Structure formats: C-alpha cells, structure tokens
C-alpha cells in the first residue's frame, strides 16, 4: 500500500520542542536533502546503519493498516529514513516542522513510489505536541538526529513516551557531548572538512548517554540497548564507542 498524504498547512503553531532557528536552517537545505554528495551527505552515509539497527530493535511490522504497524518518524526532514522504514513494511507518518523539508519529501516519494505490497508513507507538517494533542498513538517512534535540535529534550521525550503504545519502542540517534565530538562532529565536520554547513550543530546541545538515560527514565522509558556509530569504509558501522555518534532503543512499559 502506498499513500502519499497531500494535507499540508502554510503555517502551524510551534510546540515547545520546535526551535524556529533550527527549522529555518534545515529548511534552507531542503532542496538538496536527497543529494548524496550535498549538505546532508553524512546522513546519507549513516542511513543504512540507522535503518539496519532500527530493523533489529523495532517491533516487526504486522499487517499493513493495523495498529501494530504504525510508526512515527519525527523530525523526518525530507524523508531519508521514512522511505526506508516504509519499505520495511511499516505504515509511516513522517512529521517535520519544516514546510520546505516536507515538500521535498513528498516530491521524492512521488518520483520513487513505494512497492504496492509494502507499508505506507504519509507526510505532514507539524510538531510533536500537535500530534500528541490529537491523541495519536504509534507502535514505534524513530527520532534520528533530532533530539539535539529541540528546545527541551526531556520534555520532548515525555511527549514521545505519551504517543508510543504500551510495549512499544522509541529509537533515538544523536551526538554525545564530549571533547572528541566538539573536535570532530562540530569543528572538523563543519569548519575543516566542510561535511556539514557551518552552524548545523550547537555542541552545548549534544546529549550524553547518561543524560539520555535520565530523560528516558523521567518519561517512564527504559534504555534497552545502545550502540555507537562510527565512520568506516563503505559506510558507517556499529561500535562500542559512544564518544561521538550513538543510537539507542528506549522501551515503553
């Protein structure tokens, strides 16, 4: 089943997790989001690892259209992960506060339709708080390279915890706040190697694994697994090294 949601709004009220300056920064990159050699090339490089890790930790997709298959990809940008998750068989809602990113996501999906026997993919513009207010509930949620860009990561996780079904899973990938991440993911990637546009990240907003665990506990979630993500020849690989990039599975009771 392939569904490309055409609903959109020219404007939306920002929830407290939405940082307008962050949205403006990523909106400016939307038209090159799917260019593997463009400003989002680090996301392209790590996307295979993120999806493989998610596949092993998310509940298996059930019958398309059933509640057990519903997945929210929050902060989806132009849909790099959303499309992959839908091709795994999930009924994906891709949510982002950037109108430009969602427009790019819909355009790419229109040019690369999902197979008829897979999951579905619907995009919408909005915030986590808006979706929560609607009483939305999902079997699984992914928040990939998102939590370091929100205004209040602890509150953001509480909102996600409220939207995940009992026994569900939330996958979070983010950056650790270490001197090594300052040197490599901030200074090196943005100002020396130019892998990312300058200003993409604010190092002070990086989140340590201990902080993520505390935020999860406050939200009633449990860190069930965690792994580092490190660059390697031909893509990124899973590692015990959490010093820069890492990914975690948070389980709901």
For the annotated binding site, the residues are 50, 75, 96, 144
- Work out the end-to-end distance of the chain between its first and last CA atoms, rounded to an integer number of angstroms: 30
Tokens 């890790």 belong to 53
Per-residue buried b or exposed e for 127-145, using 16+ beta carbons within 10 Å of the residue's own CB: bbbbbbeeeebbbbbbbbb
Q: Which residues make up each annotated binding site for S-adenosyl-L-methionine?
A: 50, 75, 96, 144
Question: Are 39 and 29 within 8 A, CB to CB?
Answer: yes
Tokens linked to 214: 């505390």
> What is the phi/psi pair of residue 27, to 5°?
-60, -35
- Cα dist. 74→120, 127, 137, 179 in Å? 16, 8, 13, 28
Question: Are 163 and 131 within 8 A, CB to CB?
Answer: yes
**CA 182 to chain CA centroid, nearest Å:** 21
């Amino acid at each position: 089943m392939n569904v490309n949601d055409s609903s959109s709004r020219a404007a939306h009220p920002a929830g407290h997790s939405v940082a307008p300056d962050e949205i403006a920064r990523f909106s400016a990159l939307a038209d090159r989001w799917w260019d593997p050699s463009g400003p989002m090339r680090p996301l392209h490089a790590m996307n295979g690892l993120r999806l493989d890790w998610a596949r092993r930790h998310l509940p298996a997709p059930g019958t398309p259209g059933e509640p057990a298959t519903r997945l929210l990809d929050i902060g989806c940008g132009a849909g790099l992960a959303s499309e992959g998750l839908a091709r795994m068989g999930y009924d994906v809602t891709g949510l982002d506060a950037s109108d430009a990113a969602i427009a790019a996501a819909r355009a790419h999906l229109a040019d690369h339709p999902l197979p008829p026997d897979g999951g579905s993919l619907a995009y919408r513009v909005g915030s986590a708080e808006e979706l929560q207010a609607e009483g939305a509930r999902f079997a699984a949620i992914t928040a990939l390279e998102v939590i370091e860009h929100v205004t209040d990561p602890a509150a953001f996780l509480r909102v996600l915890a409220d939207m995940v079904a009992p026994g569900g899973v939330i996958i979070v990938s983010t950056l650790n706040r270490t001197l090594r991440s300052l040197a490599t993911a901030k200074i090196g990637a943005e100002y020396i190697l130019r892998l990312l546009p300058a200003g993409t990240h604010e190092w002070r907003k990086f989140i340590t694994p201990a902080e993520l665990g505390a935020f999860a506990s406050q939200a009633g979630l449990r860190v069930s697994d965690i792994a580092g993500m490190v660059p390697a020849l031909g893509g990124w690989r899973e590692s015990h090294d959490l010093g820069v990039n890492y990914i975690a599975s948070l389980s709901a009771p």
